[in-house]
Structure 1
Amino acid sequence: MKKYLLTFALSMMSLTAFAQTDYETIMSERITKLEACKSLDDFQILANDFDRIGRKETKQWQPSYYAAFAYIQKGRMLMREGKMTELSTQANSAEKYLEQAEAIAGKDNSEIHLLKKMAFSLKMMENPAERYMTDGMKAMEELKKAESLDPSNPRVALIKAEDTYFTPEQYGGSKTKGLEQFKTALEKFNAFKPKTAVDPNWGKAEAEYFLSQTSSK
């Protein structure tokens, strides 16, 4: 009987390990595609993929996180294309998934708070003059929260550098200071190791891009 129970327990452990490996494989494939997205449709397709994974893997926060990230990246692409009236729609979709991720991971997750910051920033950019004191302030609060929870988070440093770099000098921004912050972000990326294969690990290429543009001039 004991031998049977031991064999059963080992079998269950093997199945669990297989399921976890399968989950990480599927997620890793989608994450790689997300990092290589070049169109609005690609971002939407992957957001839908992560949604389906999240409905199956109800105890994992990463699928909802990446669904939110896909919507945020879609919004940032729309912003670059000058389609400002569509930003809040993408941000609202991202916030729905961030609520789901937070319900699983808890309220003290730096990565989730950083995406909340990015979602509020998208809303603000739809109409900066009207929304700076509302969504803009909320974005700053979320950034501070993300940094306080994990000062070593390189993505926090990256987004801070972006904000400084792209904000006009009359409003406190500075390209010079932004580049220094990109250097700090890159140092943090070089020291960073994600906890699992599917935890957030994006952003290093962006920091390298800004610094390479400077060195090439």
Structure 2
Amino acid sequence: MKKYLLSFALILSSLTVFAQTAYEKVMTEKIAKLEACKSPEDFQTLANDFQRIAEKEKDKWQPFYYAAFSFIQKGRVQMRENKTQDLDASADQALKYLALTESIADNAEIRLLKKMAFSLKMMVNPAQRYMTDGAKAATEMTAAEKLEPDNPRIALIKAEDMYFTPEQYGGSKTKGLEMFKLALEKFNSYKPKTALDPNWGKAEAEYFISQPVK
């Protein structure tokens, strides 16, 4: 009887390992697609893929996180295309998934995405929303820094904010480039906790550093 119980336990163990490997494989494949996405439609498709994974893996925060990140990236493309009327919808979808993420974990990566989502909402009408969505973005950035001050993505987004903010409001392209360099230094020494944890942003820092100041 003990022999059969042992065999059954080994089978269950093997199935568990297989399931974990299958999950990690599909997640790795989808995460790799993030850099290839170019259009809002590309990011929407990827967000849907992460959503389907999240529905099956409700105890893991990464699928919800990447669904939210896909919507934020969708919004950032929309902003570059001057489709500010679409930013609320993308940001709200991201915040929906981030709320689900926070029910499982609380870390700097999640707080940083919340900051980015509120920043997108602010860009719909910066003058009107600076004291509402802008303030929420600042609160989330402060929380992220407290949780993980050496996170390179925090340094990257702070550099972006400095670079793109007009000088009359405290921004500076020169200071922004210096901050991108500091972010890159952090990226060079940073190691994600797991293979599925966020590891985006280094290429963006390198891109801005390569650009001449105008």
Q: TM-score, normalised by structure 1?
A: 0.95
Percent identity (aligned): 71
* 1:209 aligns with one of 175, 182, 207: 207
Q: 1:146: which partner in 2?
A: 144
Deviations 1:144-191 (CA, angstroms, capped at 9, x unpaired): 101110011111110000001111111111111111111111111111
Gaps of 5+ in 2: none
> Shift of the alpha carbon at 1:58?
1.1
State which of 142, 161, 164 in structure 2 corresponds to 1:163.
161
Q: Which residue of 2 aligns with 1:81?
A: 81
Specify the alignment match of 2:9 in structure 1: 9
CA distance in 2, matches of 1:82, 1:98: 25
Give the counterpart of 1:109 among 107, 110, 117. Answer: 107
Q: Secondary structure at the match of 1:59?
A: coil
Give the residue type in structure 2 aligned to 1:208.
Answer: E
Moved over 2 A (4+): 1-11
In 1, Cα distance between equivalents of 2:181 and 2:7: 53
- Matched residue SS, 1:133: coil
Match of 2:30 in 1: 30
User: How many residues matched?
Assistant: 214
Deviations 1:110-167 (A, max 9, x none): 1000000000000000000000011001101101101110011111110000001111
Pairing 1:21-100 to 2, within 5 Å after superposition: 21-100=21-100
State the Cα distance separating 1:7 from its structure 2 match: 2.6
Q: 176, 179, 185: which one pairs with 2:177?
A: 179
1:117-132 matched pairs, under 5 angstroms: 117-132=115-130
192, 208, 213: which one aligns with 1:194: 192
Which consecutive residues of structure 1, in runs of 5 or more, have no partner in the other structure?
none
2:128 maps to 1:133? no
1:49: Cα distance to partner? 0.5
Shift, 1:9, TM fit: 2.3
**1: CA distance, partners of 2:13 / 2:88:** 44
Q: Deviations over 1:52-96 (max 9, x none)?
A: 000011111111111111111110100000111111111000000
